[in-house]
Amino acid sequence: MTLLDNRFNRNVHKIATSAIRDFDQKVSSVEGIIKLTLGEPDFATPEHVKQAGIEAIQNNRTTYAPTPGIPELLQAAARFMENKYDLHYDQDEVIATIGATEALSTALQTVLNPGDKVLVPNPMFSLYESMILVNGGEPVHINTADNGFVLAPEMIEEALETHGENVKAIILNYPTNPTGVMWTEEDAKKIADVLRGKPIFVISDEIYSELVFDRPHVSIASYLREQTFVINGVSKSHSMTGWRIGLLFAPRQIMKEAVKVHQNMVTCATTISQVAATEALVNGADDAVPMRVEYIKRRDFIYESMTDLGFKIIKPSGAFYIFAEIPADLDQDSFQFCLDLALNNAVAFIPGNAFGIGGENYVRLSYAASMANLQEAMTRLKQYVDTQRA
């Protein structure tokens, strides 16, 4: 017992570090391992965007930015949303954040009081749970596995019946990490109908909106703008994860509060990166198109290879993940499966239970990796599965 035991913030004490990063670290020392673990595009940042970053440094754009962001980025972000998704935001309804991660954190901190509940469709991006807890809230997990990983309106109605007025917010994420599943316009409309007029904030994480394969992305804000925070950014669309620029959009009344949280947390996002992100959105609005073409090829390859081995997969229509159910004739404990595969055959996936309920018996892999690595990973997976079945 030391002097400072039990003196920590109780909410921080409740959470653990990211299960995804922990597993990634655990298997990193295996020699020659192919890691399909983290959600990180393998493309380089487009050349014109890199140049804009270099010029920003040369032109001494190295001082603080205004708290919400540099005006040219906020304008470019608003135009991008209008042109791509038919969503209208004025410049003062946008904030440039430190990645989508800070946008999520800012949204939650803006609305949560101790004990407030937040509905979270599962399987989910695991930071949602820890961010809710750290901000004093309580996650209410909704298992979507039986509905093809799409949230159904009745599931929300049921959760509201059980948890009533304590529900302060709901997090939505389409296309979804870890399943790659998208929803239809009809799904979005029906969910908006359930939430409309209720004092519930919608936190809509649309970071994969540019990586959609079969149909256009639909934002819930098209139907429920007045209650919604939209979260986006350039990490996935422009392969800019390390530049750390996210975007938070919300109606003025909400933004007036959110900007205070953002200011207290970070003052402003990095100026150099904001200049580069402006270039990405102004002159690179369609930079994701060639990446999308490549992702589709890889998705099809992994989908076919794993299906042939007996994995059950809902074919993803967005993002760059495959969420696959381990065949019933193998050990379906997702942690054990991933550990064994990594240690014996040097391929790393993430255990499905890192993504909440509905993820047990599943593995997630990211196909944001070279085709050569994916081919080798599938060869090794086949060897592992054949040995288990022998």
Ligand X SMILES: Cc1ncc(COP(=O)(O)O)c(C=O)c1O
Interface positions with ligand X (CB under 6 A)? 39, 99-101, 125, 173, 177, 205, 207, 233, 235, 241, 246
Between 243 and 384, CB nearer to ligand X:
243
CB of 246 to ligand X, least distance (A): 5
Between 173 and 305, CB nearer to ligand X:
173
Q: How many residues does the chain have?
A: 390
CB of 170 to ligand X, least distance (A): 15
Beta-ladder partners of 351: 363
CB of 98 to ligand X, least distance (A): 7
Q: How many CA atoms lie within 13 A of 226 on its CB side?
A: 6
Between 45 and 241, CB nearer to ligand X:
241
CB of 308 to ligand X, least distance (A): 28
126, 145, 321 from 141: Cα distances, Å: 12, 12, 21
| DSSP secondary structure code for residue 150 in this structure | -
CB of 8 to ligand X, least distance (A): 25
Phi (first) and psi of residue 267, to 5 degrees: 65, -60
CB of 275 to ligand X, least distance (A): 17
Question: How far is 36 from 257, CA to CA, in rounded Å?
Answer: 39
Between 173 and 361, CB nearer to ligand X:
173
Task: Enumerate residues 6+ apart whose C-beta is below 8 A from 51.
Answer: 279
CB of 14 to ligand X, least distance (A): 21
Between 74 and 385, CB nearer to ligand X:
74
The one-letter code for the residue type at 228 is T
Between 93 and 205, CB nearer to ligand X:
205
Burial class (CB in 10 A: 0-12, 13-18, 19+), 240: buried
Cβ-contact 281, 80 below 8 angstroms: yes
User: What is the CB neighbour count within 10 angstroms for residue 216?
Assistant: 11
CB of 314 to ligand X, least distance (A): 17
Which residue of this chain has its Cβ atom nearest to ligand X in the complex? 99
Between 241 and 273, CB nearer to ligand X:
241
**Helix%, strand%, coil% for the chain, nearest 5:** 50, 15, 35
| DSSP secondary structure code for residue 224 in this structure | H
Between 22 and 193, CB nearer to ligand X:
22
Cβ-contact 337, 343 below 8 angstroms: no
152: three-class secondary structure by DSSP: coil
